[in-house]
Amino acid sequence: MPIELFHHILKQSHLGEVKNSLGKAHKALFIENSYRITATDFNKNRLAFNDGTPTIAFFDSSNSYIKVSQKDRSYTIHSAWLTSQYLEEVYFDELAETDSLLIIRFNPVLFYQAFGVTPATLRKQPVWSLAASLGTRGAQLLKAVEGGSSTNQKLEAIEGFMQKLNAITIPNKILEDVLGIVMLYKGQVSVDHLSKKTRVNYKWLERNFKNYIGLTPKEYIRLQRFMHAYLHLNNSHDGNSLFATAIQHGYYDTSHLQKELKLFTGKLQP
């Protein structure tokens, strides 16, 4: 998603709204948040970002498509796309034949298990069609969503479809707690602190992060910290400088933050 949209994601949660719309039959186990956004939010050359949460964007029409670029490569996806959990230097080039999109963010511990996908495989490219990333089940999910006429019907279709997959999903309360701690601290936390806080060792964290969400603990922390720093830096109302942003968000100095900017945006300035 465009990184600026995380301003809204961080300010509000639609989880309760999702639960209400799904009703008792489909309490939200897989869907964490949903957002209906306009196509204007995907202007050309906007930075794409993911904070490590499995995210699918659904178009209202199968004729709609997105074009994104990563360095010297470009990708075009129709109907819906799944975003890789880790993006570097990815920009939106074009969004065509649509006025709005439905963005769904899923429970990172359960999502990949439900579809029988190894999370790390999604890091091979920034965006995927549902069939290419999730196989036959992904194509079936898209068909189910296209059958809904309203946002609530689409949400019901998604949650209902995933709960009927009969996949063996193993909850991981400790990992969910760890993810919550990293988000609470806005990425300003060490792996050692997480280990002590949850009473699990580094190897456990490393193994479970990779197996469940396809990231290392350090990568997940890095994503969270950079996201908050970038959004803070781009808040023109505050007039935030590189130095002030770097210090406030736990970077050693301006040079450290600039290295992160270069890594994720390809530029030394946002």
Query: Tens of pLDDT along 75-88?
Result: 999 999 999 999 99
User: Residue 136 sits in a domain of what CATH number?
Assistant: 2.60.120
Q: Look at residue 252 and tell me if it is in a domain.
A: yes
119 & 158 share domain: yes
Give the structural domain span for 214: 173-265
In a domain, 240, yes or no: yes
Same domain flag for 147 and 185: no
pLDDT confidence band for 236 (50 / 70 / 90): low
Please check whether residues 72 and 122 belong to one and the same domain: yes
Find tokens 């450290």 and name the residue.
Answer: 256
Same domain, 20 and 114: yes
* Domain final residue pick, 144, 163, 182: 163
Instruction: Classify residue 270: in a domain, yes or no.
Output: no
Q: Of 158, 163, 126, 135, give the one whose Cα is nearest residue 58.
A: 158
How many independent structural domains does the chain possess? 2
pLDDT band at 96 (very low <50, low <70, confident <90, very high): confident
- DSSP line for 177-192: HHHHHHHHTTT---HH
**pLDDT one-digit tens code per residue, 218-231:** 999 999 999 999 99
CATH number, domain containing residue 253? 1.10.10.60
